[in-house]
Each structure stands twice: as C-alpha cells, then as structure tokens.
Chains A and B, each alone.
Chain A
Amino acid sequence: MKPAAEKELIDLVVGWVKQNGLNGSSHAEISGNTNLLESGLLDSFAFVDLILFIENCTHKKLDLIDADPEEFTVVKNLCHLALRNGH
C-alpha cells in the first residue's frame, strides 16, 4: 500500500461526501478522522453508495467481513481497508 495512494483516496472520499452527503455536508469540515455516520454526514444507505464509489476508484472489492463498523466508518480507516484487503 502506498501512502500517496491512501492520501489521494481520502481526498476523493472527502470530495464525494461533500457532494453527496446529507444536510450541510457541502460546508462541513471533513478530514481523515471524521466518522461519517456519527457526524450525520451520511446515513447507512449513502454509506453503501460511498463503498461503491470507492470500489470504482480502486477497482477492488472492499472486504468488510471481519472489519469492525466502529472503525470502517472513519474516512481514513475505510480508505486504508479499501487499499489493503480489497481484491
């Protein structure tokens, strides 16, 4: 996994959330440490859409089977997972 790729993916995810997130997301401060559900930026359905977006970006299937939802709902953790264990 390349750190540059992860940083790039985080930027893409932040951009996607700003564009497609719920109320006020376009003005929200979103960083790698933002929890997307807890912050109210995404609901569960939008989160699934985000996963599809990430898979399109990485050309890998995201494997969340053993991942803890507490972790993968945070931007940088999700991106880390997407680049680490996707296949």
Chain B
Amino acid sequence: MTKNNSFRSLASAFLESVELFPDRTALVVDNASLSYSQLCRSVSQIALAIHQNEQRAYPLAAVWAHRSQTAYAGILGCLTVGKGYVPLNPKFPLERTSRMLALSGCTTLIVGKECLPQLSGLLQAANRSLTVILPEITALEFLASDNPLHRFVFPGQLTSGEDFSLLQASGPDSPAYLLFTSGSTGVPKGVLITQGNVRAYVDYICERYEVDEHDRFSQQFDLTFDLSAHDKFVCWERGAALYCVPEKSVMAPAKFIRDHQLTMWFSVPSVAGLLSKMRLLFPNCFPSLRCSLFCGEPLPAAYAQSWQEAAPNSIVENLYGPTEATIAIAHYRWDSERSPQESLNGIVPIGQVFQGQHCRIVDSHGKSVRAGEAGELCLSGSQVATGYWNEPAKTQQQFVHLPGSGELLWYRTGDLVKQDAAGNLCYLARMDQQVKIRGYRVELQEIEAVLRRACGTDQVVSLPWPVNNGSAEGVVAFVSGVKTLDRDRVLTSCSDVLPEYMVPKKIYLLDELPLNPNQKIDRGKLACLLQGAA
C-alpha cells in the first residue's frame, strides 16, 4: 500500500476538526450530543483497543452497529488505525451478516449494544477467531465462556481515551470502506473504496456546497448504504454537526429537520414522496435547509419542485453515482423555471459528472455513441474503484478499457443513459435485472435464487412492484411448476437470508409463466397482470 504522509486521510481530517473545534457538536445520536473532543475520546478508546488486541495485521475491521455512538466512533476508530471499515447491519438477517463478515476476512469486530441480542448467533457462525470489541456493553461472563474461540474487549478494558497519538498514516490506496451490494449470483458483492476515492469526493463536495462548521447534517442512511459516507465524512471534514435520524423518524423526518434546524439534507427521493403523501411537505416547512441532495433512485420532477417549495432557502440537487464510483459522481441542480422542461418523462436529469471525473456513453462494442443517442454510461476518474473484492471475473467484466482511451480503466455502470442538448445526462433504464427498491440496489437474480431454493422449482420470477414515478416500493414474486405453495414458509425462508426490502411482499402461484416470442419469461406480461390486479 502507498504510504504518503502528506495525504489527508479521513481520520486526519476528523482529528483536525477536533483540534479546531473541540467544543462544537460533532454528533447527535441516540438522544445524546457529543462534542468533537468527546467523540474523539471514544474514537481513541476504540482505536487503541483495535491496535492492542488484533490477532493479525489486516487492512479491514468490521463495525456491527446501528444509529449508536459505537457505530460512529467504531468507524472512526478503524480509520484512525489505518484500517478500512466494513459496516454490518443488525437489521439484516444474521445469515447475510455472517456471510459478509466471512467474505470481508475481518478478524476484528466492533459491536454496538443494539446488536447484543444477535451477537451469540453471529459468533457461533464465525469460522475464525475474532477480536470482539464492545465499547458500550458491560462485561458479560457468558459471552467469553460460551465462545472460547473469540477474544473480547469490554468497556473496563478500554483506556481513558486520552491517547491521540495512534493515528496511522493512510495513503490514497489505503482502504476506506468495504461495502456489500446485492449480487446476481446470490452472494453479496464487495466493493472496496479507497481513501483516495473518498478524498476526491469529499474535497469536491465541500467546495461545491461551501460546507463549514456551522452546518448541521442529516444522517438518514443506514451505514451499509454507501450514501452514509457522504454525511459523515463531508460533515466532519469541516467541523460541522452530524444528526443521526432515529430509526422511528426515518420514514417521516420532517419534525426532526425542524427540531434540529438542519442545514444539509441528503436522502433517497422516496422520502420526499412519503412526506408529500403524508402532507408533511408544504411550502416553507424547512426554512433552515440550505442544501438538499437526493440520490439512490430516479428523482421525479414533482418531488424536486415540492421540496424546493418546502425548502425555499435551499438548493435542490439530484446526485447520481453507483457504489463503485464512491457515493455520487454526477449532479444536476433543480431550477423551478428551466428544469421541468429538461426533465425526461418527469424524471430529473442526472446532469454532469463532477469536475475531474470522466464519463462516456458507449454502445455494446465500447465505442462512444453519437450525440443524443442512448448507450451505457461508463465512468472513470479518481473516485472510481478498481474492482470487486476477491472477484476477479466480475471485476474483468465490469472494469474495462475502452477503445481509444489508453490505459484508463472504466467502470461499466449498466445504466442506459443519453445526453440531452444541454449536455445533461438523462437516466433511461437499467440494462440488466438490477433494480432500486427504495434506493437500495437489488439484483433480482439474488431474490430468485432464494425463491428457487424455498419453492423447490426453477420457475420463479421476481418483479419490482409497485413502481411509482420511476421508483420501486417493493418486490413481488411469481412461482410456477409446483401444485401448491406454502407462502408463509417461503416468505420465512426469504426473511432468513434477505434484507427486508428484498423479501417479496406477495407471491403469486401461476399454472405457467408467460413467455415472449424468444421463449424468455415475459416480465412485461407479468407486470400487466399486477396492473390488472391493482
């Protein structure tokens, strides 16, 4: 790994904010407010615990925590000792979490108190010895006696947190985080994002939105969603305050925005849609916001306009970017006068790639299409990852060289786009079976693999449904090839291995699946069946 002491790592940026603004609020979570110096103390405790107790040098450590102090201090603790973090989510089925932990290769696991009910299960499933750091859990004798394979670090073994000298130099190639997305083969796919990738993003965003220490950021995304990296690292880069939206307010955060006078908002567009439906989005209801960003799924023009009216002092931007390109790599600023005309089929353009990053729209041979023609969007630049975690075949397939671009590595997004006359990229569709459900990236094949096992037949299809304004609210399944179906048992099997947003809301049993003239399953016809039933 490159060692570059002049490189500004994510941890050194945080520590600089600690020095500059020790008494300013760094984090509000779980009804507690932590100043930069207080958060730094927790970070230092965890960093030292990792440093002193890790069983073998490894570039990654896992953080299994959710909307708690440990979640944030754990992430910063990993980064402080030069490790990338692997976020794990207690809302995910244990089997999925266990698989992600195994795939990551981590032997250090930082655990929040909110994961305690599931901890024994995860430890028993672990196939190697782990160092388990539990900063908020009082020593539990049974954990150690029941799990002799693993080493435990409880709060009593942590230092006072005064030792800030632990910062390990991280270079641009050092890992920042490893995230798992849905995989078409049924196994989650890891994307390793480096410190250099995130640095390029954070620098650009901080300048573009003129972030400073007076800002108050929302933290709406789960940590397993890469957009959460924006909230944390952009916020702490400039000494601002991060407000973690409590789980119960995630659906309808209007009151939270007002109560905390947030200035920076970032969420999937679905949140705006939900607030609108609940009549919680009305003119001037968010006067404190100065910057509202949406990403993760197509942004309907109607939502952008409603939000603009709700937050009249805010810019409203549509961001676009796959996990492989680090959070977001293109933006489009909403303009109430101009943008309705520029929107395509009522969907806001994804705009232009960030300055310094590169895009091409190519045909099936990798050649650039003519202006205005549709093609696959390919991305390159300092924000773009170089491949998938331990998946060389998949890496070779998606990270490619394009004709005429020399050694430059391009990531094929699988997104079909076209460029309009104003130079804006407009999203048209996916080229494969990947869909976005409430902003979460989902490979339908992964759901179908689970359904096949659970139903005992190969004749299964999953479809995003319902789809409103270009966004899927959930998924439903069709099954054929069996005479009867125990739906509850099948759904339970799905819930055991898939996150909630991937579990079909309904399963339909058909005599046969409709086929198109090419003898492929006619998904359009299935969608028509759903439309008819609605």
Chain A interfacial positions (CB closer than 8 Å to B):
22-24, 27, 35, 37-38, 40, 43-45, 47-48, 51, 61, 63-70, 73
Contacts and interface: CB of A to CB of B under 8 A. Distances in A.
Nearest to B248: A70
A48 B255 contact: no
Given A43-B500, A69-B248, 14 more contacts: A22-B503, A23-B488, A23-B495, A24-B491, A45-B473, A45-B474, A48-B277, A65-B255, A65-B285, A66-B255, A68-B249, A69-B255, A70-B246, A73-B251
A38 B488 contact: no
A65 B246 CA distance: 17
Interface in B426-483: 438, 473-474
A73 B274 contact: no
Contact of B278 (A22, A40, A64): A64
B338 interface: no
A73 B277 CA distance: 16
Interface of B: 246-255, 270, 274, 277-280, 285, 438, 473-474, 488, 491-492, 495, 500-501, 503, 505
B254 A38 contact: no
B275 to A, nearest CB: 10
Q: Of A35, A37, A65, which is in contact with the most chain B CB atoms at under 10 Å from its CB?
A: A65
Contacts of A23: 488, 491-492, 495, 503, 505
A69 B488 contact: no
28 contacts: A23-B492, A24-B488, A27-B488, A35-B248, A37-B248, A38-B247, A38-B248, A40-B500, A44-B252, A44-B274, A44-B438, A45-B274, A47-B251, A48-B274, A48-B277, A48-B278, A51-B277, A64-B252, A64-B278, A65-B254, A65-B255, A65-B279, A67-B255, A68-B249, A69-B248, A69-B249, A69-B252, A70-B249
Contacts of A35: 248
B288 to A, nearest CB: 16
Contacts of B274: 44-45, 48
A61 to B, nearest CB: 7
B310 to A, nearest CB: 12
Contact of A43 (B248, B285, B474, B492): B474
Contacts of A45: 274, 473-474
A64 B280 contact: yes
A63 B501 CA distance: 28
Contacts of A66: 255
Contact of A44 (B251, B279, B285): B251
Contacts of B474: 43, 45
Contacts of A27: 488
A22 B475 CA distance: 12
Nearest to B473: A45
Contacts of A64: 252, 278-280
B505 A22 contact: yes
A70 B384 CA distance: 39
A67 B270 CA distance: 20
A74 to B, nearest CB: 10
Contacts of B277: 48, 51
B488 to A, nearest CB: 6
A18 to B, nearest CB: 14
Q: Of A24, A47, A48, which is in contact with the most chain B CB atoms at under 10 Å from its CB?
A: A48
